[in-house]
Chains A and B, each alone.
Chain A
């Protein structure tokens, strides 16, 4: 097992690797149906989360819908 340093939602985090984006969501206790994932400014569609590896230094954005007008 390795330790990966990634930026998640603007903050540096150390996660257990190797990890896919699906693994990352699991480690953060997030439901993949409820979030949209952007990896280095490219959207990663849900079916590809389990096959996309997170690399050291990656920048990940996890967004969802909140109240707004």
Chain B
């Protein structure tokens, strides 16, 4: 069965963002793991090629080997720097430039947070930072809410991808508004990847069934009791949801329709 899934997946087009193509539609974060060894095993199991990282001060009083690059091979994974923790456009732009300077690529997962309790985006700051960074040659992947108008403005501002949330960051509440996500996907030309809120494999599958181009997740894997096994479950769920979307599901009916022939009954 695994072989069949792999063969079918080959018929899918790659995920292309900002001129780069990826086979896997699952993108994963590197935060919150109990150990670096567990993180590496989970990322391997997920099959992800794009891996997000945060930019932070070096802790000068501790081991210099706590940097992520000592644990994750940047030639094997596409490192996507984020601007997590930034509350203004200016701050996010500063972090994006620092992330680019690390020297791996021009991509940034742009976050401009507007509220500490919900971590929902400051959409005005987000659009403004997207405009600035896109003009500087960044491939901006913008974390946003599930609002169509904001998504359209981000596309106009030059975002390479728009990343609406399924539900708040780290909440694990799953896809709260499938309609909004479907609508955003239908209206945008740039890739739409759902970022944040997925809690378990069925959430990932349902999200992919809406037709989005991919999913980025972190906590659902990192906080699972067995992170590597959850990563594998997420990999299958993303593939299953994608195949279900591509295959075109049956219509919903309010009445039953028998599966066995009525003709030939005794």
Contact = CB atoms under 8 A, between A and B. Distances in A.
Nearest to B58: A62
Contacts of A65: 53-55, 67-69, 79, 81, 99, 102
Contacts of A43: 97-98, 101
A69 B29 contact: yes
Contacts of A11: 60
Interface string A1-29: 00000001111000000000000000011
Nearest to A28: B60
A10 B57 contact: yes
Interface residues of A, number: 25
B60 A66 contact: no
Contacts of A61: 57
Nearest to B104: A65
B44 interface: no
Contact of B102 (A9, A41, A64): A64
Contacts of B125: none
A69 B219 contact: yes
Nearest to B59: A9
A68 B102 contact: no
Interface stretch (B31-39, B175-183, B236-244): B31-39
B56 interface: yes
Contacts of B30: 67-69
Given A63-B58, A66-B54, A30 B64 contact: yes
A50 interface: no
A67 B102 contact: no
Contact of A64 (B68, B196, B216): B68
A24 to B, nearest CB: 11
A64 to B, nearest CB: 4
A67 B60 contact: no
Contact of B29 (A38, A45, A67): A67
Contact of A38 (B32, B39, B67, B98): B98
Given A30-B64, A35-B67, A67-B30, 16 more contacts: A9-B57, A10-B57, A34-B64, A34-B67, A34-B70, A36-B102, A41-B94, A63-B55, A64-B58, A66-B56, A67-B54, A68-B30, A69-B30, A69-B84, A69-B196, A69-B216
18 contacts: A31-B64, A35-B67, A36-B55, A36-B98, A38-B98, A43-B97, A61-B57, A62-B60, A63-B55, A63-B56, A65-B99, A65-B102, A67-B68, A68-B53, A68-B84, A69-B31, A69-B32, A69-B217
Interface of B: 29-33, 39, 52-58, 60, 64, 66-70, 79, 81-82, 84, 94, 97-99, 101-103, 169-170, 196, 216-219
Interface of A: 8-11, 28-31, 34-36, 38, 41, 43, 45-46, 61-69
